[in-house]
Amino acid sequence: MITLLIADDHPLYRDALRGALSLSLPDLQLLEAGDLTATVDILEKEDIDLLLLDLHMPGSNDLFGLLHIRKLYPGLPVAVVSGTEDASIISKIVGVGALGFIPKTAGSDDIASAVQVILNGDIWLPASVSEKIEQVDEVFSALADKVASLTPSQYKVLCYMRDGLLNKQIGYNLEIAEATVKAHVTAIFKKLNINNRTQAVLIASQLELEPPVSHH
């Protein structure tokens, strides 16, 4: 029995994946999660053969969900499912250790064969992008590794710093004390080996996969 975890915040898309996979892989157990916390909870309890991860579900924020899970479970095969088909983004995803990239536009046959290829230990990418994939540089890989050491709360603080928010505003948005925000900022600087907000913003900007949403 193969156990697959679908981590995506859209129930309709989870249903579509479930339908596509159960037809071609009959001896399949499918588990579902709608955010990063639930995903990690399931990974702690269950023995998962493959994780299908949506990059934009709550808590995942661009590449962080992938980096966080790769750090916690380095041996777990992960394939990213996403609406984007930008070759430079896919290069980064594969560069930080994902074994495949399945576009949300993929048909059920493609999804099933992608899962089969990844379960066999190979990398699967859509034909439209596989020729355009670039080699991810070592600087980016090292940076991604540092960011992976942040906690989800620290990563949220980093994203708000990227968007130009002050500690007070970050505290308000995350419903935590300003002193707690300051402690997070100190920890972020230490883990990323930097000493000011400008450097933090540069790092966060390199990891983002789409323009930041404006926060009110």
Q: How many CB atoms lie within 10 A of CB 67?
A: 23
Largest CA distance in the chain: 53
Report the domain count for the chain: 2
Length of the chain equals 216
Is 145 inside a domain boundary?
no
Ranges assigned E (strand) in the chain: 2-7, 28-33, 50-54, 78-82, 100-103
The Cα–Cα gap between 30 and 19 comes to 10
In this predicted model, which residue has the larger pLDDT, 108 or 162? 162
d(CA 62, CA 60) in angstroms, rounded, equals 6
| Tokens found for residue 194 | 């930097």
pLDDT band (50, 70, 90) for residue 210? low
Domain end marker among 66, 99, 130: 130
> CA–CA separation, 25 vs 1, rounded Å?
10
The position carrying tokens 């930097």 is 194
Per-residue pLDDT reduced to its tens digit, 169-205:
999 999 999 999 999 999 999 999 999 999 998 888 8
The more confident residue out of 2 and 84 is: 2
As a whole number of Å, the end-to-end CA separation of the chain is: 47
Q: How far is CA 216 from the centre of its chain?
A: 24
Q: How many CB atoms lie within 10 A of CB 121?
A: 8
- Of 206, 61, 216, the C-alpha closest to 146 is 206
Indicate if 6 and 102 belong to the same structural domain: yes
Query: Are residues 126 and 164 part of one domain?
Result: no
Q: Is residue 31 part of a domain?
A: yes
Q: Are 82 and 55 in contact (CB under 8 A)?
A: yes
Residues 160 and 118 in one domain: no
Q: Same domain, yes or no, for 111 and 27? A: yes
Token pair, residue 58, equals 């709550």
Q: What is the DSSP letter of 124?
A: B
CATH number of the domain bearing residue 43:
3.40.50.2300
Task: Provide the residue range defining the domain that includes 122.
Answer: 2-130
- pLDDT for 85: 73
User: For the segment 77-136, what is each residue's pLDDT rounded down to a tens digit?
Assistant: 999 988 777 777 888 888 888 898 888 888 888 888 899 899 888 888 887 776 677 777
Residue 111 pLDDT: 86
Q: What is the DSSP string of 5-45?
A: EEE-S-HHHHHHHHHHHHHH-SSEEEEEESSHHHHHHHHHH
Which has the closest alpha carbon to 42: 50, 34, 33? 33
209 pLDDT band, cuts 50/70/90, is: low
For residues 18 and 74, membership in a common domain is answered with yes
The band of 215, judged by pLDDT with boundaries at 50, 70 and 90, is very low
What per-residue confidence (pLDDT) applies to 60? 63
Q: Closest Cα partner for 182 from 198, 163, 161, 162?
A: 161
Its pTM stands at: 0.80
Residue 216, in any domain of the structure: no
Q: What is the mean pLDDT of residues 131-150?
A: 80
Is residue 43 domain-resident?
yes
